[in-house]
């Protein structure tokens, strides 16, 4: 299912968030148990399985998407019911083991780019429904390329040690003293939705830093934002309705989904039911703010240079006062992404541009142009620093070296745009 790719001595589940061209989940073939199939189809939406298991130009769920890691590429598996290259020969027990223990039908370890540390919370009945849906699809004969991990990371038995550290096997248990809605949201976020795969920082072994859950993490040269209650870099200034609108439509008055998050919204969250989106919002709004140190102030000369660039290049859309045009051009004043502890996403927007998610309620995928071709590293750093510290914003300055390192990583990695129906 969806793995927002990462590696570990293993490789830890990642999120967020790949950018394959996927626009819908295909309807299942007729089945003797249509209710079970439909349940499985919706659970696949919750798990965002199509994002990673569909390569650009490929058939849905046939795999082959390269999930880039710091150590090489892991190619997503074919999970159609083809008996030779997919999961057609897998038994229910095999599929359940893959979801709960990270092992395939031959009992070989799976890399946690497939986020089984999160999927393990799914109860057996839901796992069986997911399998039933996948088995109802048209088989696709396709074998993904071999992974490109170097020795010893290509030896899967090493994952035994990683699992000892980072896999807590077991299904979701209701938290007493919390409402049914809160528990539902917690299960989606912590389980099938596997939000922490991208939004939680990682250890050197690429496992989750559990004490910093959902406080943001770098993946695929984006910074997946802090989902805790901080008012500057988190969701403290967002209402529950803001969260629901963002997940449902890809935009709200404060932000828009772009970068890696655009596909998550397009394929998964925009297809969720309103009660589930409300439950997610209730859970996220219950998370406390993380303690953060006050950022160092920027230099006056940098702010002056950054303001001049902003006036010339950014103010037409985002306005001189940073107010933007809500739901079209995101406001920058008070913007949580802009004030994140890690400026990677803002820096990348400036260098490569981006495209917002296209959803049924908001079908126009608005774009921001790239400025990397015309701004030096120092200029890009200056305007990023200005945006992070103007109009009441407060965040650490951005250095030219930071921008230069990111430029080198994304120069050959343009933002992929969702492209039609697959």
pLDDT in tens, 310-353: 999 999 999 999 999 989 999 999 999 999 999 999 999 999 99
**% residues pLDDT > 70 (the chain):** 90
With a cut of 80, say whether residue 153 has pLDDT above it: no
176-185 tens-digit pLDDT: 999 999 999 9
Q: Are 418 and 23 in contact (CB under 8 A)?
A: yes
Q: Which of 267, 253, 210 is nearest to 16 (CA)?
A: 267
Element (H, E) at 301: helix 300-313
For the ranges 58-67, 115-124, 408-417, the one whose mean pLDDT is highest: 115-124
Report pLDDT for 422.
Answer: 27
With a cut of 90, say whether residue 374 has pLDDT above it: yes
Report pLDDT for 417.
Answer: 41
| Burial bucket for residue 75 (CB in 10 Å: 0-12, 13-18, 19+) | buried
Q: Report d(CA 87, CA 77) in Å as an integer.
A: 9
Report pLDDT for 416.
Answer: 43
Q: Which of 45, 47, 78, 73 is nearest to 61 (CA)?
A: 78
Report pLDDT for 72.
Answer: 83
Confidence of residue 6 (pLDDT cuts 50, 70, 90): very low
Same fold yes or no, 180-285 and 300-410: yes
CATH code for residues 180-285:
1.10.760
With a cut of 60, say whether residue 194 has pLDDT above it: yes
The domain limits of the chain are 34-166, 180-285, 300-410
234-277 tens-digit pLDDT: 999 999 999 999 999 999 999 999 888 988 999 999 999 999 99
Q: Report d(CA 99, CA 115) in Å as an integer.
A: 8
Confidence of residue 360 (pLDDT cuts 50, 70, 90): confident
46-91 tens-digit pLDDT: 999 999 999 988 999 999 998 877 788 889 999 999 999 999 999 9
Q: Are 172 and 273 in contact (CB under 8 A)?
A: no
**E runs forming strands in 245-308:** none
**% residues pLDDT > 90 (the chain):** 70
Query: Hey, what CATH topology would domain 300-410 get?
Result: Cytochrome Bc1 Complex; Chain D, domain 2 (1.10.760)
Report pLDDT for 32.
Answer: 59
Report pLDDT for 20.
Answer: 40
Give helix then strand counts, H and E, for the chain: 16, 6
Q: For 83-100, b where at least 16 C-beta lie within 10 A, e where not — what string?
A: eebbbeebeeebbbbbbb
Kindly report the average pLDDT of the chain as a whole number.
88
Report pLDDT for 30.
Answer: 53
């Amino acid at each position: 299912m969806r793995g927002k790719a990462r590696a570990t001595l293993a490789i830890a589940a990642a999120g967020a968030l790949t950018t394959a061209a996927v626009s819908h989940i295909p309807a299942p073939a007729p089945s003797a148990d249509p209710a079970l199939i439909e349940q499985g189809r919706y659970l696949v939406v919750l798990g965002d399985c199509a994002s990673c298991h569909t390569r650009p130009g490929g058939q849905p769920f046939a795999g082959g998407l390269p999930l880039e890691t710091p150590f090489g590429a892991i190619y997503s598996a074919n999970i159609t019911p083809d008996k030779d290259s997919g999961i057609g020969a897998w038994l229910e027990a095999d599929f359940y083991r893959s979801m709960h223990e990270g092992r395939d039908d031959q009992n070989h370890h799976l890399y946690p780019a497939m986020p089984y540390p999160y999927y393990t919370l799914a109860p057996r009945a839901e796992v069986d429904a997911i399998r039933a849906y996948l088995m109802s699809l048209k088989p696709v004969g396709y074998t993904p390329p071999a992974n490109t991990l170097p020795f010893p990371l290509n030896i899967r038995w090493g994952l035994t040690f990683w699992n000892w550290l980072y896999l807590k096997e077991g299904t979701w248990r209701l938290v007493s003293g919390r409402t049914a809605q809160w528990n539902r949201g917690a299960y989606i976020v912590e389980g099938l939705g596997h939000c922490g795969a991208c939004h939680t920082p990682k250890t050197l072994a690429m496992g989750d830093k559990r004490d910093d859950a959902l406080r943001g993490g770098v993946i695929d040269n984006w910074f997946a934002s802090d989902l805790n209650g901080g008012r500057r870099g988190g969701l403290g200034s967002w209402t529950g309705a803001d969260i629901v609108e963002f997940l449902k439509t890809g935009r709200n008055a404060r932000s828009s989904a772009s970068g890696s998050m655009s596909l998550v919204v397009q394929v998964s969250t925009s297809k969720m039911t309103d009660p589930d989106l409300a439950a997610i919002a209730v859970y996220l709004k219950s998370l406390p703010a993380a303690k953060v140190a006050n950022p160092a102030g920027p230099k006056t000369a940098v702010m002056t240079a950054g303001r001049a660039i902003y006036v010339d290049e950014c103010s037409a859309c985002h306005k001189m006062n940073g107010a933007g045009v809500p739901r079209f051009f995101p406001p920058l004043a008070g913007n949580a992404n802009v004030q994140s502890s890690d400026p990677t996403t803002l820096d990348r927007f400036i260098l490569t541009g981006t495209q917002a998610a296209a959803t049924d309620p908001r079908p126009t995928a608005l774009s921001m142009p790239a400025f990397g071709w015309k701004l030096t590293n120092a200029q890009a750093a200056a305007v990023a620093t200005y945006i992070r510290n103007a109009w009441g914003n407060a965040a650490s300055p951005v250095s030219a070296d930071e921008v230069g390192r990111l430029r080198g990583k994304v120069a050959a990695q343009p933002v992929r745009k969702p492209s039609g129906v697959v």
